[in-house]
Amino acid sequence: MCVRCPVCTADRGPAAYEFCWQCLRPWSGRAPAADRCGAEGCAHPDLQILRTCRTTALPQVEGVAACPSIRACPTCGHKAEHDRTGCKNLICPRCQVEFCFVCLKLTPECLKTSTHFRLCSAGVAPRQTAIPVWRRT
């Protein structure tokens, strides 16, 4: 979760500027860490949104009566909200990856055992408790 900012590092001279991807504060632990830095209360602010968002039905998707209304893209972590129209798949506006809003699998993987308008074979994924870190390749 330790991120080195190349812009801020360039401005600081030889000292690298590192911050925590979760809480967005300067890094205060040993790097690398799997899920958070050493700062007290370290948590990405979007986690609270993901934990407490209302549930919603997707009326055009058979079998989806209650799904969290906000999801983090499984590729880059960008928050997305389904507009309740059309199929269960979204294209992330940040990374342009298409994923299933219901099971959180990438669309090609989800469609191996389901359709655009049916509940996924894996069912509704639980509320997310971590935000994926995007690694551009």
Question: Which pLDDT tens digit goes with each residue over 1-56?
Answer: 778 888 877 677 777 888 887 778 888 766 655 556 777 877 778 888 999 999 99
pLDDT at 39: 79
Q: pLDDT tens across 82-121, in order?
A: 999 999 999 999 999 999 999 999 999 999 999 999 999 9
pLDDT at 100: 98
Q: What is the Cα–Cα distance from 77 to 13, expressed in whole angstroms?
A: 30
Domain ranges of the chain: 1-43, 45-110
pLDDT at 20: 83
Q: What is the Cα–Cα distance from 50 to 62, expressed in whole angstroms?
A: 24
Q: What is the Cα–Cα distance from 71 to 89, expressed in whole angstroms?
A: 12
In the chain, the N- to C-terminal Cα span, in Å, equals 17
pLDDT at 36: 64
Whole-structure pTM value:
0.75
- Mean pLDDT for 53-66 is 95
132 compared with 105, residue with greater pLDDT: 105
Q: What is the Cα–Cα distance from 118 to 25, expressed in whole angstroms?
A: 41
Q: What is the Cα–Cα distance from 14 to 37, expressed in whole angstroms?
A: 22
- Contact between 68 and 84 under an 8 Å Cβ cutoff? The reply is no
